[in-house]
A and B are shown apart, each in its own frame.
Chain A
């Protein structure tokens, strides 16, 4: 169920990016898509009632180099969180560039409406 809602969020973002005529709204739609994917990544690592993936001394047996099975069964997956952090930084970069292009375009054309920004065609 949470996955379906996450996919719905993704499709809403895609719809907004494809249908809207205002440049800023298109950017917002793209960012909604980006957040939906980030949410999906976080959910992949989620485990209800899980613990932080940090081993303490009682869970590690130095003689056999084994990690206690209880730890492996309860800890959440830390990798998707690292991926999401990277993805957020990347989307911040692209958001900044997109918004600055929007501002420069507004200075040139005096509008955000993409139906009126049409010098290129053919």
Chain B
């Protein structure tokens, strides 16, 4: 059975606009409908694995019309988006009861999912910008959803930087259109291969890197993330940290750099430096935090650095003409880390939401000894922490191991050393979380705390099981060939993308 590609965007979009009609009485029905939407997207994404297809919207043949492209990388992103959004939606069913206007929240949530699916599928660069704006606008509103002092402040900060990033991207798209005369990504790539990079296109590439770098919160463009992610409701923090910064930032950047402009040594090194800066700065800033969600937000910056480092290392190796096997290993590590981080970081934010809902605070100094009171939250949080630190056999270990192997084989020993060092910093920050939240003495006012039951528990256990099992994605050859290898192939093939799309 093959799913028509527009359904990935149409299903969440249509349901998002239906939900506000339900009003106060239909809250339960709205929740069920929204959950059905995310779960059906998960089914669509699983069914679509291994398929490559170009869909011409409205039967207008490219380059006249808009096209949707499903290839290995897109289907990997769709899978990650749908796993995280299904879990976060399930978690919201119970968690969002403490807020008013739940139907509006669900509607914005689905708009964000529709935007991200659109970014992952779009084969037209202006269309990519439109979907990016849909997802971003929904996320600005969701960050300020609580309408308290901190939330509004964070939302404004996020919105100013996010809008500036979007304008940079639009400016870059205008420059690309002026220089190549087309908006279809495959045709732009072909035009650039024929004419080479002129000054205008180089400026456009720089604008793309700044714009997508802002969306991905790479250091030095990270200032908005530690405010915006903790201020959002917990399931939205999980979505933002888990998948939004990767789809709008890392995925779009990789698509533009690898498939449209083509890799060069300069760009590869730029990505490596951005990745290393993010890794080290994010980790150092995270250790000093005393707010649970803020600590996790800084650690997201550090973890996105790993993804960019893997991709950048691959780009450098390809551009230098080194052994392609090590380049694809580095990219495999980057993409695998992207998927892993999507799962365990969203789980960590969900557990932080569970702790906050049970105790009413997220300051580490006010918590303690919750291991007995919140046994399931504690277990899932420990699993996620073990994954992010990289303890075998949890998922994070495998992606970091592959990244270290790739760096050593490419003879960048110092990069391998930095990777291991940042892993140690990550260990320190999550030991701090365990020590101050779950161990130690139980404060007097938290004696009556009760574990959160129902859908929140199901969502957390689902993601924790994935954390344990994700290692199989590289260990079982069949799974690796079906899911990760096609995605790596798209990036290592680079400019062959245009021929692939035109040929399909």
Contacts and interface: CB of A to CB of B under 8 A. Distances in A.
B164 A101 contact: no
Nearest to B126: A83
Contacts of B133: 90, 93-94
B148 to A, nearest CB: 8
B153 A94 contact: no
Contacts of B166: 94
B164 A122 contact: no
B361 to A, nearest CB: 16
Interface residues of B, number: 36
A82 to B, nearest CB: 9
Contacts of A122: 226, 288-289, 291, 294
A90 B163 CA distance: 11
Interface string A79-115: 1100100110010011001100110110011000000
B152 A26 contact: no
Interface in A3-18: 10, 14, 17
Q: Is the interface of A mostly helix, strand, loop or mixed?
A: helix
A112 to B, nearest CB: 11
Contacts of A41: 174, 177
Contacts of B231: 120
B159 A10 contact: no
A76 interface: no
B229 to A, nearest CB: 11
Nearest to B136: A94
B153 A120 contact: yes
A10 B149 contact: no
A117 interface: yes
B174 A98 contact: no
B167 interface: yes
A104 B167 CA distance: 25
B260 to A, nearest CB: 18
B171 A102 contact: no
A44 B170 contact: no
A118 B157 CA distance: 11
Interface in B148-204: 148-150, 152-157, 159-160, 163-164, 166-167, 170-171, 174, 177-178, 183
**Interface size band for A:** 20 to 34
Interface in B267-291: 288-289, 291
Given A80-B177, A120-B154, A120-B227, A17 B160 contact: yes
Given A40-B174, A98-B163, A120 B150 contact: yes
Contact of A44 (B148, B157, B174, B288): B174
B156 A102 contact: yes
Contact of B150 (A26, A90, A104, A119): A119
Contacts of A79: 177, 183
Interface string A42-80: 001000000000000000000000000000000000011
B137 A93 contact: yes
A108 B149 contact: yes
A86 B163 CA distance: 15
B499 interface: no
A2 to B, nearest CB: 13
A119 B149 contact: yes
Contact of B137 (A80, A97, A104, A117): A97
Given A10-B171, A94-B133, 7 more contacts: A94-B159, A98-B156, A98-B159, A98-B163, A109-B149, A119-B149, A119-B150
Interface of B: 126, 130, 133, 137, 140-141, 144, 147-150, 152-157, 159-160, 163-164, 166-167, 170-171, 174, 177-178, 183, 226-227, 231, 288-289, 291, 294
23 contacts: A10-B171, A30-B164, A33-B167, A34-B167, A37-B167, A37-B170, A41-B177, A79-B183, A83-B183, A94-B140, A94-B163, A97-B137, A98-B160, A98-B163, A101-B140, A101-B156, A102-B156, A104-B147, A105-B152, A118-B153, A120-B154, A120-B227, A120-B231
